A and B are shown apart, each in its own frame.
Chain A
Amino acid sequence: MTQDIVIKAENLDLTFQTNDGPIQALKDVDLEINRGEFVSFIGPSGCGKTTFLRVIAALEHPTGGSICVNGMTPDEARCKRAYGYVFQAAGLYPWRTIAGNIKLPLEIMGYSKEDQNKSVRKVMELVDLEGFDKKFPWQLSGGMQQRASIARALAFDADILLMDEPFGALDEIVRDHLNEQLLKLWSRTNKTIAFVTHSIPEAVYLSTKIVVMSPRPGRITDVIDSTLPKERPLDIRDTPEFLEIAHRVREGLRAGHAYDD
């Protein structure tokens, strides 16, 4: 069963040296993420959820403990292009069309022209953006831009998708729609997704595992395995089961804040 563990963190510590002295962004973080899981990280600002995602992506380096991604160090995994990363802002290049933006990682990774086009067609279909390939980013709405950036992260078919508050800047209606789409995409592709969010309903609706974090120092206070079925219509959010999990998340967040007025 060990090969099913995609991400494994043990006693992970990360301390930033700032002008105001050291800041402990992560302390004693232990976590295992299995293949095909959808894991949400939730917590207030400064709890280290984004930092943890960046450690998985080798954009930050831990100061203590160990972390494995696909059985390698994060740096090796990055070099092997093990993951696609979606940032809070879509960050599409204004000088490239949507198709051009999705091709960007493929060009860098040296795909042939033919494979590039094939891949672009496939992922644009996955995020429901067919027919928009020749449009420029400014011609698309914020939600569509974010979908294009998800397509860009999926283009090179990495099996891990790291998402850092990808829908944080969008309004609730668009967000609901994208959440639904993301679940469909996840069940179709079987990717392992690590998802950072501020929103309790979003975390509960999407995840198979919810990691509740709290700040100063950033640490995990609760890990909740979701009992919701894999098939989730939007109105599952009104069921007692859903509300119970949401309640437990809220309790976890409150506990983390108890001594922090």
Chain B
Amino acid sequence: MKSVFPILTVVAAIIAIWYAGAVWMNSQWTLDQARRAGVELTLPEIIRDTMNQERATLPAPHQVVAEIWKTTAEKKITSKRSLIFHSWITLHATLWGFALGALIGLTLAIFIVYSRVMDMSVMPWAIISQTVPIVAIAPMIIVVMSSMGIQERLVPKAIIAAYLCYFPILVGMVKGLRSPDAMQLDLMKTYNASNRQSFWKLRLPSSMPYLFTSMKIGIAAALVGTIVGELPTGALRGLGARILIGDQFGPPIRIWSALIMASILAGGLVAIVGLIQRITLKRMGMNQ
């Protein structure tokens, strides 16, 4: 309960800064309008106006909350105007991408830990893969997929998500699988344990804390990857598409509500991984 106060303080500070920003950024439009109409506005009048503009540059928090309420609770979830519908599209691709990325990251990590050749040949490419801007790769993946006859948009989105999320899992698991010290490996050797036995009984359990930490980073990265995959032209569904459409055609409030929705989604996913981590480590007796 002690932690509630600091958390609320930070939330309150963020909302206060947001409101101040809304006043500052939206007042330009208010003042322009007033000048054209030839009226003088008092400060309270300016502030009141900045809170309720229809096309506010930075919508105030209560406007965003109202918009999210309107596009979630008040819309059927099958509607194309429902944020829940779009969130589901994004979440679906994120989870597939995460599963694919985790599998790739884990497999590569095992090979790298057990083979010096793999370590020297694969690791540099894994690092290079992350230096390429994802926005440059994403359209290419989409084009290549559709030229291969895969019309389902889910596939390229999941691949882009996997491309972003395999890396933290790879790096974390290489570190994790190497975390047993020389003494513990020697102990395995004195039992004449096979490689397979020392993997299942020593290396894998030792790597669990690393696995969950890297999965938390990975699942957030997968969400970012999916949203980037929804940005290139053609996508009409998903949070990324909502952001792009809001950006180009709609009022800014659409972008903001989609952004908030994306961060709620990311927070939720990380929290779920965190919960699985707590339960698993507790069952393993490593929760001190």
A positions within 8 Å CB-CB of B:
57, 59, 78-79, 81, 83-85, 87, 89, 91, 93-97, 104-105, 107-109, 136, 138
Contact = CB atoms under 8 A, between A and B. Distances in A.
Given A87-B183, A108-B197, A136-B285, A95 B205 contact: yes
B192 interface: yes
A109 B197 CA distance: 10
Interface in B186-208: 186-193, 197, 201-202, 205, 208
- Please classify the interface of chain A as helix (H, G, I), strand (E, B), loop, or mixed, using the class held by over half of its residues: loop
A61 to B, nearest CB: 12
Contact of A107 (B192, B201, B205): B201
A83 B193 CA distance: 14
Given A85-B190, A87-B183, A95 B285 contact: yes
Contacts of A89: 183
A95 B201 contact: no
B8 interface: no
B233 to A, nearest CB: 50
Sorting the interface of chain B by its residue count into under 10, 10 to 19, 20 to 34 or 35 or more gives: 10 to 19
B285 A78 contact: no
Given A59-B186, A91-B187, 8 more contacts: A87-B183, A89-B183, A91-B184, A93-B205, A94-B286, A95-B286, A108-B188, A108-B191
A138 B281 CA distance: 14
Contacts of A138: 285, 288
- Please classify the interface of chain B as helix (H, G, I), strand (E, B), loop, or mixed, using the class held by over half of its residues: helix
A17 B191 CA distance: 27
B184 A96 contact: no
Instruction: State the 8 A-B residue pairs at the shortest beta-carbon distance, nearest first.
Output: A95-B284, A136-B285, A85-B190, A108-B193, A105-B191, A108-B191, A95-B205, A87-B183
Contacts of A96: 285
Given A95-B285, A95-B286, A136-B285, A59 B189 contact: yes
Find the residue from B186, B190, B192, B202 having the highest chain A CB count within 10 A. B190
Contacts of A93: 202, 205
A84 B208 CA distance: 28
A199 B288 CA distance: 34
Find the residue from A57, A79, A93 having the highest chain B CB count within 10 A. A93
Given A108-B197, A138-B288, A57 B205 contact: no
28 contacts: A57-B190, A59-B189, A78-B192, A79-B192, A81-B191, A83-B190, A85-B186, A85-B187, A87-B183, A89-B183, A91-B184, A93-B205, A94-B285, A94-B286, A95-B205, A95-B284, A95-B286, A96-B285, A97-B285, A104-B191, A105-B191, A107-B201, A108-B188, A108-B191, A109-B191, A136-B285, A138-B285, A138-B288
Contacts of B284: 94-95
B26 to A, nearest CB: 55
Interface string B89-106: 000000000000000000
Interface in B171-225: 183-184, 186-193, 197, 201-202, 205, 208
